Amino acid sequence: MKEKIHMHRYERIWLMFGGGTLVVFLVVLFILAFWMGMTPPSDMQVVNAAEVDKTPPFDKPGLHQVGPHEYDAVMIGFVFGFNPNVLEVPAGSTVNFKLTSKDVVHGFEIAGTNVNLMLLPGHVNTISYTFEKPGEYLAVCNEYCGTGHQFMSAKIIVK
């Protein structure tokens, strides 16, 4: 016996809309991934999270001058803070941030800039930023990491 499924017209339209949206999303995803080549970083530097304090460059956290107006900022995120938590650079300096976490997932976002990193234990994440305007920049953890999450911050003083 053949039974015909009864479907309301609006139901059918809604189903087509849902299916169509899914197809559009998949097409966009495939274009971004295979045609525009947007992929997550594949060759991220790794570090043993349990040995962060003994592994270069994290055995010497801090600001290291590498050029006339260029610095490497080696920082470690932990519950609940950053080491170091104050950096001082002259205006016009390019800072190459190199960060990792030694416990859980943290974030590193500098307010008013496009610096926004995720700190995954076991991985090193980097970003460079040129601080043109003098002032105090607040860096915060933007990944909820526990009871002290809201206290996890650092300061970059540009003068």
Is 78 part of the annotated catalytic residue set? yes
Does position 145 interact with ligand CUA (CB under 6 A)? The reply is: yes
Joined together, the tokens standing for residue 29 give: 């995803």
Identify which range of 1-9, 30-38, 87-95, 143-151 contacts ligand CUA by CB under 6 A. Answer: 143-151
Does position 154 interact with ligand CUA (CB under 6 A)? The reply is: no
Is 82 part of the annotated catalytic residue set? no
Identify which range of 16-24, 35-43, 125-133, 139-147 contacts ligand CUA by CB under 6 A. Answer: 139-147
* Paired strand residues for 62: 74
Please state, in angstroms and rounded to a whole number, the distance separating the CA atoms of residues 106 and 34. 30
Concatenated DSSP letters for 25-84? HHHHHHIIIIIS-----SS--B--GGGGGGSTTTTS-EEEEEETTEEEEEEEEETTEEES
Does position 106 interact with ligand CUA (CB under 6 A)? The reply is: yes
Nearer to ligand CUA, 93 or 125 (CB): 125
> What's 127's DSSP letter?
E
Binding positions for ligand CUA, rule: CB under 6 A: 80, 106, 141, 143-145, 149, 152
